[in-house]
Chains A and B, each alone.
Chain A
């Protein structure tokens, strides 16, 4: 599934990515060192960490997108970094669990 095709109830795209970025899986974590160690290329990162470093870690690990939970607002510098790194950023009112389940359903997992 491409990032621009991702949709589930409550999910809002706040920073689209251009091109054919494919979401192949998901990784849910709020510890960026843990994300850095375990996220697999193509995973969408599901987190509450709504700041610039999240994008840096996402880019380093090859994450396809970032989904911010509990309706957290992405900081302006986070969105700028995401635009630069071409990483889609989504916001959803759901919890980490709810977003993980919703993404898994979208991916048929």
Chain B
């Protein structure tokens, strides 16, 4: 099947995202935009995935479960699972590698964990949009070994992109690379190029998306589908 996918969306849990980004709002907006499958990818924390799962289930929306991990070099990497509990385990592990600095909501924004009914259960304590102590070179194999699709985020963006922070894109077996602008042909020949919204506000959902031809919305099927995006 042909499908439109957006695998880079932040919920209200990300301190830099709008509080309007509840799981139900994300699902409703994505549906209205004609997206067939979405993934929630908050900064280095998976705690809003259960509510996101419930919101997708009640709306009949296909979904994957992710997070956007930040490496020691402050490079952002999308780690996307097709299994909620694996994503939660990976999320807890990543969170444990964040510095023990509490968030200051006045400076960075709040980090609420919510239910599907948009009730706040608690606030995540450590600041989420800062680097963990895991290097990029370790994180990529860790994500792949854990069963995730591993996609460096906005590789061509100056802030928290792999090329600007590492000087070049290391030759590692990513499933794809997310880009915002134009990308050199040598990159598009080596890795599948995808575009996702990186939405932090409702109106940003689906501002960028990718069309794939996939058998299913599972990690193996999408991995295969991404290969068809390679520049010949």
Contacting B74 at CB < 8 Å: which of A32, A59, A60?
A: A32
Known: A31-B73, A49-B159, A51-B159. A36 touches B130 (CB 8 A): yes
A85: nearest chain-B partner, CB-CB: B107
Contacting A53 at CB < 8 Å: which of B73, B99, B129?
A: B129
**CB 8 Å contact bits of B1-20 with A (1 = contact, 0 = none):** 00000000000000010000
Question: What separation, in Å, do the CA atoms of A48 and B54 have in the docked complex?
Answer: 42
Question: What separation, in Å, do the CA atoms of A51 and B161 have in the docked complex?
Answer: 14
Q: Smallest CB–CB gap between B42 and chain A, Å?
A: 16
Number of interface residues of A (CB under 8 A): 12
Question: What separation, in Å, do the CA atoms of A36 and B108 have in the docked complex?
Answer: 13
Within 8 Å CB of B131, what residues of A?
31-33
**CB 8 Å contact bits of A44-64 with B (1 = contact, 0 = none):** 000001010100100110000
Known: A49-B159, A51-B159, A53-B129. A33 touches B107 (CB 8 A): no
- Interface class of chain A by DSSP: helix
Number of interface residues of B (CB under 8 A): 13
Contact B130 A33, beta carbon cutoff 8 Å: yes
Within 8 Å CB of B73, what residues of A?
31
Contact B99 A36, beta carbon cutoff 8 Å: yes
Contact A56 B107, beta carbon cutoff 8 Å: yes
Within 8 Å CB of A59, what residues of B?
107
Question: What separation, in Å, do the CA atoms of A74 and B130 have in the docked complex?
Answer: 20
Contact residues, A65-104 vs B (CB, 8 A): 85
Known: A31-B74, A36-B130. A56 touches B99 (CB 8 A): no
Residue B138, interface by CB 8 Å: no
Contact A60 B130, beta carbon cutoff 8 Å: no
Residue B101, interface by CB 8 Å: yes
Contact A60 B159, beta carbon cutoff 8 Å: no
Contact residues, A1-52 vs B (CB, 8 A): 31-33, 36-37, 49, 51
**CB 8 Å contact bits of B57-72 with A (1 = contact, 0 = none):** 0000000000000001
Residue B104, interface by CB 8 Å: yes
